[in-house]
DNA sequence: CGATGTGAAAAGGTTCACAGCC
DNA sequence: GGCTGTGAACCTTTTCACATCG
């Protein structure tokens, strides 16, 4: 719960990296913070499908892939944009436009051949090659990630675990020995590597700097901190606290249609009357992180899935 | 790994709920899938600050809150839009416009009073009231969430645990007895409740339907499935697989500037040659889920945070 | 003077509608 | 006939530039 300078980095002391990379939306689109100057970004071929895929489209490709895989396992041969879109929960026009950015993989009057489209999207996402995953921070989170079997079978393979806590360095977690961060190095010549950051928020920025200086250019950040990285490095964040707060915002609005919700403009605080200076404030989940793991028990066979309205 | 109809719901059999709510971007903006007809959406007051806050802005409020909290703990009194924006990794203009949607909480020529702005944003996010959190699915994920202390101290309090696996029903997890889903009910008159779905993908939709029929209108979904819910219900998803795939996409593009990446248009498969029909496909992490938990060990004191470049 | 707040312009993304093709 | 692919309209979001005010 110690939110030191790592949280708000640049404000406190001097730090090298700039070009902060936000979370979801702002992660890559145009330039986020790269400066007002670099408009255009037509560095490559413009008419080449594969180039210039909108970020919003990229974010939906995994969903399409998922739905397609489900269809494939069910034995479905072809699917229309209408049906596939319904499965993913988007409009059919959006789906078609998305796919058109990758190329023309459909057949007019028929639809899309499931297997073919599946391969194409996989290829576009880079899932035809192997991806090395290194996990930094072997707490509850990192441990579960390391033990997560889904990695290996999907093209993402854990190849290294790192932590600086003496308590865990040297320990063998799921076949991998936890090594100290000082020994960190990007596996296999620096390409096709993704680092998963599962360290406390307080040290996340410093660890991130270290990774970047070692050549890492893709980071999945579980710490509730906005990492500041140089241009060319991609960061995506998974943040439970933010998600809950966003849900709270919408829920609250639904519940109180008339209320403005804001505290009375001029003065201290009204409305609920509660809320100490920073007691309830934001910054939830600092020092903690999300944890990914297998799901052994959980809901088994639902009694009756009723719920029809 | 059993992807039954829950994954692609609407395609397979008849299902009641429509209006699929996607993940991040499409979660709420205009209508996502509500139909082409409902343009306008000026149902409420239009000039009332608090109403009509853009979704993109809402998604950034938690970040602002976090940065402000850090500043407050450091004792900072005021902050400029420039400095705060830098901390969050956005442009100062964007920050000012975001805040302008909430109201005018700054002082020209000076900046923003940290404490005041912090309270205002908290109020807008609805963090002045208590939020009941129920966790469905007490596997590794749900268990960790239940034990996560950050909830209670931040306005989010776990008030119920549910699972249908006989192995865990009745078990006491962190002070709460796990109850069967059949006993599920929305706590305290159906308001201010958020359900966290931590069940396997295969049953996520059915459990979701059940929750919705019980009156839940805000769901945080950890299962790698697009949930289809009726209008008025908000769903947000946390999805490790998608995040990794999106990172892979960008990394791959960085690594191979010239390659089109797509498989040769006409035929089977080229490029790597690998990739069976659905072996590497998408659908990663099905049946699994992310897990949030305390982070006891992890990186302690970094050796030297070097990484200056 | 300096920093906010905000119209206006630009960019990005979504939806419509239909031409084109099987 | 039916469905894809896509230009065009529309909406959201970002960015610019500057009037405004402490």
Residue with nearest Cα to nucleotide D10 C1': B39
**Of A193, A263, A295, which has the smallest distance from its Cβ to B120's Cβ?**
A263
Classify each residue of A141-171 as buried b or exposed e, where b means 16 or more C-beta atoms within 10 Å of its C-beta: bbbbbbbbebbeebbbebbbbbbbbeebbee
Question: How far apart are the C-alpha atoms of B268 and B305, rounded to whole Å?
Answer: 48
A185, A230, A281, A301: best to mutate for the B interface, most B CBs within 10 A: A281
CA distance B61 to B68: 10
What's the average model confidence in pLDDT over A14-36? 38
CA B293 to chain CA centroid, Å, is: 16
Is B219 one of the annotated binding-site residues?
no
Classify B28 as helix, strand or coil: coil
CB contact under 8 A, A24 and B26: no
Chain B residues touching residue A281 (CB < 8 angstroms): 65, 68-69, 72, 118, 122, 127
Q: Is B139 annotated as a binding residue?
A: yes
Q: List Cβ<8 Å contacts ≥24 apart for A76-80.
A: A76/A114, A77/A113, A77/A114, A77/A115, A78/A107, A78/A110, A78/A111, A78/A112, A78/A113, A78/A114, A79/A111, A79/A112, A79/A114, A79/A117, A79/B11, A80/A111, A80/A112
pLDDT of B309 reads 30
Chain B residues closer than 8 Å to A100 by CB = none
What is the rounded distance in angstroms from the CA atom of residue A108 to the CA atom of residue A183? 55
Digit-coded pLDDT (tens) for B268-282: 333 333 333 333 232
Q: Where are the alpha helices (DSSP H) in B131-219?
A: 140-147, 201-213
Determine the Cα–Cα distance for residues B289 and B241; give it in Å rounded to an integer: 10
Give how far Cα A290 sits from Cα of A163, A286, B140, B301, Å. 17, 11, 12, 21
Question: In A, which residues are within 8 Å of B77 by CB distance?
Answer: none
Residue A173 near residue A147, CB atoms below 8 Å = yes
Percent of chain A with pLDDT over 70: 63
| Alpha carbon A158 to its chain's center | 17
Q: What is the pLDDT of residues A153-190, one digit of tens each?
A: 678 989 999 999 999 999 999 899 999 999 999 987 55
Q: Mean of the pLDDT values across residues A288-309?
A: 31
Which chain A residues are within 8 Å of B58, Cβ to Cβ? 246, 249-250
What local confidence, expressed as pLDDT, does residue A274 receive? 33
Q: How do residues B160-171 score in pLDDT, each as one tens digit?
A: 999 999 999 999
Residue nearest to nucleotide D1 (CA to C1'): A109
Q: Which residues contact B205 (CB under 8 A, 6 or more apart)?
A: B6, B7, B9, B15, B225, B227, B228
pLDDT 10s digits, A47-83: 455 568 999 999 999 999 999 999 999 999 999 999 9
Measure, in angstroms, how far nucleotide C16 C1' is from residue A148 CA: 44
| DSSP 8-state symbol, B298 | S
* Contact indicator for B69, B45 with CB cutoff of 8 Å: no
Cα(B216)–Cα(B202) distance, integer angstroms: 20
Q: Assign B138 to helix, strand or coil.
A: coil
DSSP sequence for B227-273: -B--TT-EEEE--HHHHHHHHHHHHHHHH-SS---SPPSSSS--TTS
Average pLDDT over residues A248-259: 80
Distance A278 CA to D1 C1' (A): 64
Report the alpha-carbon angle B50-B109-A4, nearest 5. 75
- Do B281 and A250 count as a contact with CB atoms less than 8 A apart? no
DSSP code for B13: S
For residue A9, the number of C-alpha atoms closer than 13 Å in the C-beta half-sphere is 25
Chain A residue closest to B250 (CA)?
A234
Mutate to test the interface with A, among B297, B301, B306, B308 (most CBs of A within 10 A): B297
With distances taken from each CA to the C1' atom of nucleotide C6, the closest residue turns out to be B97
Whole-number pLDDT of residue B306: 33
Q: Which residues contact B94 (CB under 8 A, 6 or more apart)?
A: B60, B85
A81 touches strand D (CB under 7 A): yes
Question: Which residues, at least 6 apart from A226, have a Cβ–Cβ distance to it below 8 Å?
Answer: A20, A21, A22, A23, A237, B63, B66, B67, B87, B88, B89
How far is residue A237's CA from residue A23's CA, in Å, rounded to a whole number?
Answer: 5
**Integer Cα distance of B220 and B237 in angstroms:** 6
Please report, rounded to whole angstroms, the spatial distance between the CA atom of protein residue B248 and the C1' atom of nucleotide C21: 35
Q: Which parts of chain B register pLDDT below 70? A: 1-51, 148-153, 189-191, 256-309
> Could you check: is the Cβ of residue A96 within 7 Å of any atom of nucleic acid strand D?
yes
- Residue B122 CB-density burial (10 A; 0-12 exposed, 13-18 middle, 19+ buried): buried
Length of chain B counted residue by residue = 309
Check residue B53 and give its pLDDT: 96
Nearest CA in chain B to A20: B89
B61 in a known ligand binding site:
no
Inter-chain CB proximity A248 and B220 less than 8 Å? no
Nearest nucleotide (C1') to alpha carbon of B105:
C4
Q: Is A138 annotated as a binding residue?
A: yes
Contacts of B37 (CB under 8 A, 6+ apart): none
The residue ranking higher by pLDDT, B65 or A39, is B65
Chain A CA closest to residue B122 = A281
Q: Token pair for residue B303?
A: 């050796």
Cβ contact B70–A3 (<8 Å):
yes
Give the pLDDT score at B231: 92
Domains of chain B with bracketed CATH = 21-124 (1.10.10.10), 131-239 (3.40.50.720), 256-299 (no CATH)
How many beta-carbon pairs under 8 angstroms link A with B? 602
Judge contact between B265 and A118, C-beta under 8 A: no
């Amino acid at each position: 719960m110690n939110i030191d300078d790592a949280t708000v980095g640049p404000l406190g002391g001097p730090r090298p990296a700039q070009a902060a990379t936000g979370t979801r939306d702002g992660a890559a689109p145009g330039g986020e913070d790269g400066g007002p100057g670099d408009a255009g970004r037509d560095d490559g071929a413009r008419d080449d499908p594969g180039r210039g895929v909108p970020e919003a489209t990229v974010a939906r490709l995994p969903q399409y892939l998922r739905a397609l895989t489900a269809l494939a396992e069910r034995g479905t041969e072809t699917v229309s944009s209408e049906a596939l879109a319904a499965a993913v929960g988007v409009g059919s026009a959006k789906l078609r436009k998305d796919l058109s950015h990758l190329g023309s993989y459909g057949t007019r009057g028929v639809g899309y051949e499931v297997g073919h489209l599946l391969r194409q999207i996989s290829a576009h996402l880079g899932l035809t090659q192997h991806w090395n995953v290194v996990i930094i921070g072997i707490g509850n989170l990192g441990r579960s990630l390391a033990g997560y079997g889904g990695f290996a079978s999907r093209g993402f393979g854990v190849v290294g675990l790192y932590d600086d806590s003496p308590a865990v360095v040297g320990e063998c977690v799921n076949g991998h020995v936890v090594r100290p961060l000082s020994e960190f190095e990007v596996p296999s010549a620096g390409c096709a590597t993704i680092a998963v950051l599962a360290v406390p928020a307080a040290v996340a920025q410093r660890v991130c700097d270290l990774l970047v200086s070692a050549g890492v250019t893709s980071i999945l950040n579980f710490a509730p901190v906005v990492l500041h990285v140089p241009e060319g490095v991609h960061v995506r964040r998974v943040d439970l606290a933010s998600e809950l707060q966003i849900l709270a915002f919408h829920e609250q609005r639904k519940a109180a249609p008339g209320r403005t919700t804001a505290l009375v403009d001029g003065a201290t605080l009204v409305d609920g009357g509660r809320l100490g200076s920073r007691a309830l404030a934001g910054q939830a989940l600092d020092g903690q992180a999300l944890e990914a793991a297998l799901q052994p028990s959980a809901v088994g066979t639902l009694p009756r899935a009723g719920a029809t309205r």
